[in-house]
Chains A and B, each alone.
Chain A
């Protein structure tokens, strides 16, 4: 998996990270990814508290979430790798977390890249750049009708929605990598453009917007 997130550090939880190569970066093991997804769902407390929260497994059995997280071999829970996100979704429903809050922290694309949405940031200066710079404002401000707030949420959503087709990461001068995603974006005015947003993954793990362009 390529490094889209710098926040997944080796911890005492079931998260396991192994460096495979420069191109692919960090590899989040399947048990580790599952555990990370569960933690992201706000289940960290559930794992240590007697909430009775249960994890539905692929074989139709229910196992206490705590045991799923701490047992020596999480794979023996019968949870298939492809079920990770599915299982996570069920937990979201079970905990009653509102959909707005329950946006998954980790997004996995078909290439196996993992995006940690909690590390996504848009520097304040980017809003002025996209909304006021003469070569940008014609699209993002005049045509699409964005303001700072609507552009912020739209670009974050654009990243998540199009992460499945993200470009391969390229090394940046000074360290870190960058990738881009491309997809349709509709502004508050109703105008629709095909937009490419470019993101840098800094050495500290932040996923930082570099620019967006038609």
Chain B
């Protein structure tokens, strides 16, 4: 990971201002992440420092993820943060209703709260993921595309791999 030793990024989510401050002094060992909402400091995290955080918005929730943790920040009261830890690097996160779809380095996981509902293990590292209609399209380092259907209960590969 290459990043300035300290930085701050501001997001506006439904008229709420969220500031994310990063401290990369100890990268790649660790990365300090500090979250503020409308000028109030919410919480600081000590995260793995080899991968930069990612950010997303779903409805009235802002969320961010580090290599190993997803943190959901509701912009409305009571503003209680929710977080989920993983044992694999997270590449991208999509909100699907009340569930979270986490695209990891070599797998894709469907979580409902703290419970992992379904998981697919890939034979190659994932390089990108996107949503096409009702499907998640995942591409791996070998150029293989997989289309994955997501229900509330499971993940299913709906077609054979294509290059």
Contact = CB atoms under 8 A, between A and B. Distances in A.
Partners in one complex: yes
A173 B120 contact: yes
B46 to A, nearest CB: 14
B105 interface: yes
A8 B52 CA distance: 43
A135 B121 contact: no
B51 A170 contact: no
A213 B89 CA distance: 8
B113 interface: no
Interface stretch (B35-43, B56-64, B75-83, B122-130): B122-130
Interface string B63-102: 0000100000000000000000000110000000000000
Interface in A123-148: 125, 129, 134-136, 138-139, 142-143
Contacts of A170: 121
A20 interface: no
Contact of B121 (A125, A129, A171): A171
A149 B141 CA distance: 22
Given A129-B141, A173-B157, A134 B123 contact: no
A176 interface: yes
Interface string B27-40: 11100000000000
A129 B28 CA distance: 16
Nearest to A208: B123
Contacts of A129: 125, 141
Interface residues of B, number: 25
B106 A178 contact: yes
A200 interface: yes
Contact of B51 (A135, A176, A178, A198): A135
Contacts of B161: 174
A134 B120 contact: no
B11 interface: no
Given A135-B51, A138-B2, A143 B28 contact: yes
Given A138-B28, A173-B120, A214 B50 contact: yes
Given A173-B146, A214-B50, A139 B28 contact: yes
A178 B50 contact: no
Nearest to B148: A173
Nearest to A214: B50
A172 B105 contact: no
Interface centre among A125, A135, A173 (most CB of B within 10 A): A173
19 contacts: A129-B125, A135-B51, A135-B89, A138-B1, A139-B28, A139-B50, A143-B28, A143-B29, A170-B121, A172-B121, A172-B122, A173-B122, A173-B157, A174-B123, A202-B123, A210-B106, A210-B123, A213-B50, A214-B48
7 A-B pairs closest in CB distance: A138-B28, A135-B51, A172-B123, A138-B1, A172-B121, A200-B123, A170-B121
Interface of A: 125, 129, 134-136, 138-139, 142-143, 170-176, 178, 198, 200, 202, 210-211, 213-214
